[in-house]
């Protein structure tokens, strides 16, 4: 019998894709000649928000800003642990103004925001996982930022090196299934350097391993509440394995956002109070 999973109510921060477009190329998925169907993007995004709310989660929204087409990818704006907000400093100049608008939202909501000195792209590369923060580097967030994160939160930071430019953020190659001391994850091993793969295998011997096809379908850019997994419907093998392990997959199609290298998790900032 699969293990019984227990969901925990979450609070998510999102940004409507009112101005979403592919206007520049800062990852291999992006091509400025690609036309975005804004109506379809809105419909898909609303489906995600509806799925969160129908499963009992709270959703807050930040107002989108003209000229910032990637602001919809709320996960990159910060990482929040125990009500403490570690902000962002984007690698690409095109995205740097987003930080100010998210910082303003957090401050208005009563949070203090730490401004990083090093390039750091929020939950894109910083994944709280029980007793650790898993931290990606190689394409965006720097190792210097990993040290800042450890000093700020007082949690051990596990640096992981990404080696495939298609998986330019950690949240495209890995997501957390369960929190607490016995946290578990799902990930795609080939997105990581050999040493990082060995670290993950030692820390998470029971992890769910994704196939290349599921990783390329953004199946690892997923959100889990401990029981339900909001996931790309194209990640069929991963969906089956999660169900076998007692999780309930909730397929949500965000294929329009893949044109910018984004998916479910990219659109979702978790506020851990």
Q: Return phi, psi of residue 102, to 5°.
A: -70, -40
Residue of 15, 120, 224, 266 marked catalytic = 266
**Cα end-to-end distance, the chain, whole Å:** 34
Q: Cα 73 vs. chain centroid, distance in angstroms? A: 9
266 is catalytic: yes
Give 134's strand partners: 127, 158
> What's the DSSP call for residue 231?
E
C-alpha Rg value of the chain to the nearest Å: 17
- Can you tell me the distance from the alpha carbon of 190 to that of 104, in angstroms, rounded to the nearest whole number? 38
Residue of 146, 169, 224, 228 marked catalytic = 169
Cβ–Cβ under 8 Å, residues 98 and 90: yes
- Can you tell me the distance from the alpha carbon of 158 to that of 167, in angstroms, rounded to the nearest whole number? 18
Give 128's strand partners: 133
91 is catalytic: no
Active site residues: 169, 266
């Amino acid at each position: 019998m699969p293990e019984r999973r227990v969901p925990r109510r979450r609070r998510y921060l999102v940004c409507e894709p009112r101005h979403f477009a592919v206007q520049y190329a800062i990852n291999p998925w992006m091509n400025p000649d690609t036309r975005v169907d804004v109506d379809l993007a809105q419909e898909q995004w609303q489906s995600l928000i509806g799925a969160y709310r129908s499963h009992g989660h709270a959703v807050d929204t930040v107002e989108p800003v003209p000229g910032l087409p990637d602001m919809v990818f709320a996960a990159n704006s910060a990482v929040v642990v125990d009500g403490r907000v570690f902000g962002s400093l984007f690698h690409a100049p095109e995205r740097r103004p987003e930080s100010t608008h998210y910082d303003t939202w957090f401050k208005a909501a009563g949070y203090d925001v730490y401004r990083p000195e090093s390039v750091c792209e929020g939950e894109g590369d910083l994944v709280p996982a029980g007793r650790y923060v898993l931290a990606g580097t190689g394409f965006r967030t720097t190792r210097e930022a990993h040290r800042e994160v450890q000093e700020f939160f007082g949690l051990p930071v596990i640096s992981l090196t990404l080696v495939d430019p298609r998986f330019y953020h950690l949240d495209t190659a890995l997501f957390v299934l369960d929190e607490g001391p016995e946290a578990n994850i799902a990930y795609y091993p080939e997105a990581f350097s050999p040493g990082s793969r060995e670290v993950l295998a030692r820390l998470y011997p029971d992890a769910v391993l994704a196939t290349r096809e599921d990783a390329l379908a953004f199946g690892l850019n997923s959100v889990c509440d401990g029981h339900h997994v909001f996931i790309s419907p194209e990640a069929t093998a991963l969906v089956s394995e999660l169900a076998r392990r007692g999780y309930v997959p909730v397929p949500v199609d965000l294929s329009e956002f893949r044109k910018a290298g984004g998916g479910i998790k990219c659109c979702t900032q978790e506020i851990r109070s």
